[in-house]
Amino acid sequence: MTQWTLGIIGGSGLYQLDGLENTHTRTVETPWGEPSAPLLCGTLNGVELVFLPRHGAGHYLPPSDVPYLANIAALKQAGCTDILAISACGSLREDCAPGDFVVVDQYVDRTQGRPRSFFGTGCVAHVPLADPVCSRLSGLAHEAAVDAGITCTRGGTYLVMEGPQFSTRAESELYRQWGLDVIGMTNMPEARLAREAELPYAAIAMVTDYDCWHEDEDSVDVANVLDVMRDNTAKAKSLISRLTQTLSAQARTPSPDGIETVLDVALITAPERRDRELIARLGQLVPRVFGT
């Protein structure tokens, strides 16, 4: 058994955590560059937390320029055992209103041009991603949200758009016809990379608006989003506090989804054909597999 070290990726509006004890910042250099910001490390309710604001201090990074590879690598190198990602989103459903939360369990990735893998020429891997989040961490996050009095749906499909512009009306209506639940700009390739790093990943989508499909609501704009975001941020901090209370009461065991050993069934490049420089970088990410 091991202890939990929970990485928190804060999305729009969540740039810091309250109540952390024994705090210190940590600068982590990864083979894929620097993360969005120095890591804030500390404890909450006896659980080790490592906090990273996805868009950097002051929200200076647009979704397409977030250093996703460096962020996931930095959290893994800092000793995180699990990741909880939090992000603002738009709702594609009438019954999922601004202020509600969704524990995401599926994705449709419509991003373009973002680095999507730690692997490549010289070491090819195909990780399974049919179920892209950790079922256990997702369940614990949902329970924490309910305990905190948050209206929260367990399960939902997140459409990841490139941005930084919001949707056209035609796009929004198309995604609703597809039966999708929420729309945002940042959970991919994040979830893909967490799987390659053998890190259990769960995602909380905080609804700020109805995108632009709702006839009785104004089209989404930043001013409206910021109003809802303030309340959502307070809710997210309460959820994290409740979650750490639960985690502190139970010793961590491996994810029931086999995520921590997923590379055992993913590598396809013959050892003699592997690129030494790439393997050296991967050794810092997943020493279990590529360490010397």
Catalytic residues: 209, 211
Q: What is the DSSP string of 237-274?
A: HHHHHHHHHHHHTS-B---TT-GGGGGGGTB-S-GGG-
The span from the CA of 33 to the CA of 67, in Å, is 8
**Cα-to-chain-centroid distance, residue 152:** 17
Per-residue burial over 56-91, b = 16 or more CB atoms within 10 Å of its CB, e = otherwise: beeeebebeebbbbbbbbbbbbbebbbbbbbbbbbb
The span from the CA of 32 to the CA of 21, in Å, is 30
Report the SS3 class of residue 147: helix
